[in-house]
Structure 1
């Protein structure tokens, strides 16, 4: 991958040509608009009144699609996946959208939605009502009959559990009053009371002292009849909603048309919104932005053709240090699969390089080394490969699957080198490193990979400095560190290499020169001598971070060994179970499947996270700032 070279443009176009120009530029799509610089002689462009209408239409279309997805998620997804909207040309979108007026379909769907919601609300109320009725089903007599007494009064209500027994005791003093427990809830009792007209007033006063709450029902039939009537109404409403849903299902065929309409309205909305970046006189619009260098001629042709050359277009080189220059990365082949790793951290600035090409090599190697199991790699290869062959995915999901498909090869290669398949279950004849014995060899290999990674990171920094014309900074910020670190590493390994005293002294001198250079030039921008020395000493303190970096690369060894040991532990348990007979064999298969699946997931997740960490913390920190602004294509 590489950063696409940009050019900046400033266009003076007639107001009358703006709408048609923006349509043509949307077809072109490779335009990144920026806010036109302030100028007292220029004014803001007032947004078109049609924008409110476009927004309303867009919201209606999106509501329709969301409503379909809510009621029929699988069917809606299928319709969207099978639609050809992604391949539809801009011109065809405009043509097809103008042929379909969705307003009648919207009103129809909105009415159905309101009816369904109204029915749902009534069903919810009926369920609550039915739950209340169920508490009184023990009363078999109709309420009409119970209310028909001439010399007696009938009450229904609730009382707290703690008050029920005291209330019963109190009512024994009433000669013509009857109390009955109808049903029992967690904290209260539902009761029925029957009293004479002569005792009614005294009874009501007494009930107040026991916090009795009277309940009235507005029907005359029995509770059972009312309950069944409510249940019947609820079923009726549910059937009505099913019929309404069938009507909605028939409207799913509108989805392709609605997707076209959504694209059309989004494009129209973008054209109206982007105008807020422009400035204008009474008759001329002033438009600024960026275009890719290799599309300059095509851009010129579009602008001139649209306005019959009644414009003034100025295209200039960009300042490589300008942070406003938008970043567009050019994808190519396998390298492009690792672009998400770079972008997850940050886009590069325009004066940097896109590190994805180098990143992809090390990421591929490190990921495989951290998993290091041939069987695990083969499973990843099969699953990601089948998904790519059978599944229908958008471009981003395809890239993600291809990313893991590529990583499966690294995992299988390292599995062959470690001679590992499901841990120690299958010993492969290709084994070069034995994870249970060759600890020191794997340790040294991890450190070597780390050293190469860091050396290349500093090399990239040197390249960026040279590319931007900072030749002396290469000596100060890269060469002095190469000299210092190389000298110190060789001195640490002097005994192993059997270096002579004279050679040692040369490297000691080199280390001292390097460290003094770092102190002197590490804070060369400081305004005072004290600040320069202090900043230089702090820069030299950065040696400690390199020690931490080298230690970090031991995770290449640690994760590979950990995954292997967990797999081996699972195999030991399975072998013990298998030796216990048929039941043991069944349990062994279950333990093996679950255990190895968990270890596969854990190994891949850990490798993804820790390889990203080595990239972001150890590698990128040496040369990569990031923070570039993404190139926003003028196209939905």
Structure 2
């Protein structure tokens, strides 16, 4: 129940056999590469001058291009015919396929033909969309002239007159019409249309008055309109709409023709995984350095897999390699990737650790302790046995359906949280709130959430004290393990004396012992918390600040009162919901009550389960971890087979 022990390995192989070696390591799925191309990785090694960086190779661009084509094909099909998924699809496992089957399937896979057909359809749709946009733009442009009963191009054919069409702001309507009628003697003015802003004008005037007419129109910001269409605007608009309808029909036909490609999804997905493996394999070279003939690979592997790694290398390239394992050095600890391994109970809560931050290699894995308290706190905050049974049933069903290890961890955590909720619900006597009382049943209970609030509050704070003290104990263990015994005494045991003394003094237990311990602890903190400061003033200042830290501990302990608050909230809300349902008059109650009961209690379960999930984690992250935990570890992410859509077996 700890952080898995890691080794650093160095592997030398001939460049000519790199591809076979990478394929074998990908199947092995147990090495985490170190980026040797990072200048800091080699340090000042004199031999580094004779080495140069490896690269992905010429094929990489082809693999990436193929992946992009496959991604396009899958997205294109999904855009028109989304894959139908049931409400329980989240419980579906990925399809499994052996690597050999995958590699054989690509030989008869017609994915490229499918891509070309789909790409052609996309081009056709884009062309039709562009044509539609053009036609709609022309319609919008001619909309204000649709009442003009002559083609605009015909207006340019007058022999002794000139026609001017254009727009002017609607606010000038009366003025411009008056000026045109009074200042022009041989003219024709017609308002073709109006909208909220503009006036659409047709002005026909004799050649002798053209200049005067243009001056009048210019005076009011006239904007001329020109068009070469040889039809009436109304006819042209109608023609465009007919073309748009034809285009829409053609687009519908193209979209309908995509339906048959739904059945190509599996082939496309298989090809995607195949090329995904090749991309990952080629990109691995970005971590390596080499000479003209030899490539150098470094990485981390679990110490227990040393022999398996040797066998994997030998099976791929025979004896033409050099492989060396090294134990982790102290200065390398921060860079070692982390893999956690815990028992069946604790492993279910590893996700809670990962959400915060993985421990560093030199730290202690807090999962075993966290799992116990998370289990305890979640149930105490949700605290309704009925809700716990629902959680257990739903999680058990998910565990029955799902085989994926990571998903199973999450479902197992909620199953265990459901068990805790049933236990605490039975302690409080909560079964869907006070539902049994409506049937004349009084369930047994150890604590009454309405009458024993003080007891539950004390129990919550007691759990908090134990939780924090264990956190301090882990800190002491880590300091002692690192050889810092004095720091363990000054920073942990002094706090134990201070806090225990404070509790005894407040509770009035043990006579003067509590006061004596409190005073000794505070004096110890005052004298030791500033020990690293370079000046006497700094030592005193940090010592006083260290004493002031007792308020932080008291605040942390009070934070555990949320165990009481959330537990009461769940129960009281459930009771209120039952009361609301019971107030519905008969006979409607017998029809509506089951639906309301399911809906309202489901809502209460979801809301309070979310609150319990968040606040149980909060107590770990803020009150527990800040006593000893730094985190910042990098997750062990082995070089492995692609599994975005398909779980590929070795």
TM-score, normalised to structure 2's length? 0.85
CA contact (8 A) 1:381 1:408 kept: yes
The corresponding residue for 2:9 is 9
CA distance in 2, matches of 1:211, 1:330: 80
The corresponding residue for 1:406 is 416
1:111 aligned to 2:120?
A: yes
RMSD: 3.6
CA contact (8 A) 2:54 2:290 kept: no
The corresponding residue for 2:616 is 611
Unaligned runs of 5+ in 2: 643-650
Q: 1:583: how far off?
A: 9.2
The corresponding residue for 2:636 is 631
Q: 1:447: how far off?
A: 0.7
Matched residue of 1:364: which SS? helix
The corresponding residue for 2:47 is 41
Moved more, 99-108 or 49-58: 99-108
1:554 aligned to 2:557?
A: no
**Cα separation, partners in 2 of 1:419 and 1:544, compared to 1, 3 Å:** same
CA distance in 2, matches of 1:185, 1:563: 60
CA distance in 2, matches of 1:96, 1:81: 27
CA contact (8 A) 1:15 1:284 kept: yes
CA contact (8 A) 1:425 1:568 kept: yes
**Once the two structures are superposed, what CA deviation does each residue of 1:474-512 show, in whole Å capped at 9, x if it has no partner?**
433333322221122111101xx4x4xxxx333333333
1:130 aligned to 2:139?
A: yes
The corresponding residue for 1:277 is 287
CA distance in 1, matches of 2:540, 2:327: 40
Q: 1:346: how far off?
A: 0.3
**Once the two structures are superposed, what CA deviation does each residue of 1:373-395 show, in whole Å capped at 9, x if it has no partner?**
344445545555666667x8976
Matched residue of 1:429: which SS? coil
Q: 1:119: how far off?
A: 1.1
Unaligned runs of 5+ in 1: none
The corresponding residue for 2:376 is 365
**Once the two structures are superposed, what CA deviation does each residue of 1:54-87 show, in whole Å capped at 9, x if it has no partner?**
3323322223223333333335999x99999752
**Once the two structures are superposed, what CA deviation does each residue of 1:234-288 show, in whole Å capped at 9, x if it has no partner?**
1221222222223333233333233233223232222322223222233222221
Match of residue 68, structure 1, among 45, 67, 77: 77
Matches within 5 A, 1:14-93: 14-36=14-36, 37-38=41-42, 39-42=45-48, 43-47=51-55, 48-74=57-83, 87-93=96-102
CA distance in 2, matches of 1:574, 1:368: 26
Matched residue of 1:632: which SS? coil
CA distance in 2, matches of 1:304, 1:593: 61
The corresponding residue for 2:273 is 263
CA distance in 2, matches of 1:81, 1:381: 18
Matches within 5 A, 1:227-626: 227-319=237-329, 322-330=333-341, 332-381=343-392, 396=406, 399-421=409-431, 423-424=433-434, 427=437, 429-494=443-508, 497=509, 499=510, 504-526=511-533, 531-568=538-575, 578=584, 599-626=604-631
CA distance in 1, matches of 2:241, 2:14: 69
**Cα separation, partners in 2 of 1:26 and 1:587, compared to 1, 3 Å:** closer
**Once the two structures are superposed, what CA deviation does each residue of 1:569-592 show, in whole Å capped at 9, x if it has no partner?**
55666666x35x889999999987
**Cα separation, partners in 2 of 1:300 and 1:134, compared to 1, 3 Å:** same
**Cα separation, partners in 2 of 1:136 and 1:598, compared to 1, 3 Å:** farther
**Cα separation, partners in 2 of 1:204 and 1:292, compared to 1, 3 Å:** same
Matched residue of 1:41: which SS? helix
**Cα separation, partners in 2 of 1:324 and 1:188, compared to 1, 3 Å:** same
Moved more, 132-141 or 480-489: 132-141
**Cα separation, partners in 2 of 1:524 and 1:82, compared to 1, 3 Å:** closer
1:216 aligned to 2:261?
A: no
Moved more, 479-488 or 138-147: 138-147
Aligned length: 625
CA contact (8 A) 1:69 1:77 kept: no
CA distance in 2, matches of 1:151, 1:26: 87
CA contact (8 A) 1:6 1:325 kept: yes
CA distance in 2, matches of 1:108, 1:83: 31
Moved more, 508-517 or 322-331: 508-517
Q: 1:567: how far off?
A: 4.6
The corresponding residue for 2:200 is 190
Matched residue of 2:46: which SS? coil
TM-score, normalised to structure 1's length? 0.87
**Cα separation, partners in 2 of 1:400 and 1:168, compared to 1, 3 Å:** farther
CA contact (8 A) 1:85 1:260 kept: no
Q: 1:320: how far off?
A: 5.7
CA contact (8 A) 2:498 2:522 kept: yes
Matched residue of 2:258: which SS? helix
CA distance in 2, matches of 1:177, 1:397: 83
**Cα separation, partners in 2 of 1:573 and 1:208, compared to 1, 3 Å:** farther
Q: 1:614: how far off?
A: 0.8
CA contact (8 A) 2:582 2:589 kept: no
CA distance in 1, matches of 2:231, 2:262: 45
CA contact (8 A) 2:381 2:567 kept: yes
CA distance in 2, matches of 1:212, 1:26: 73
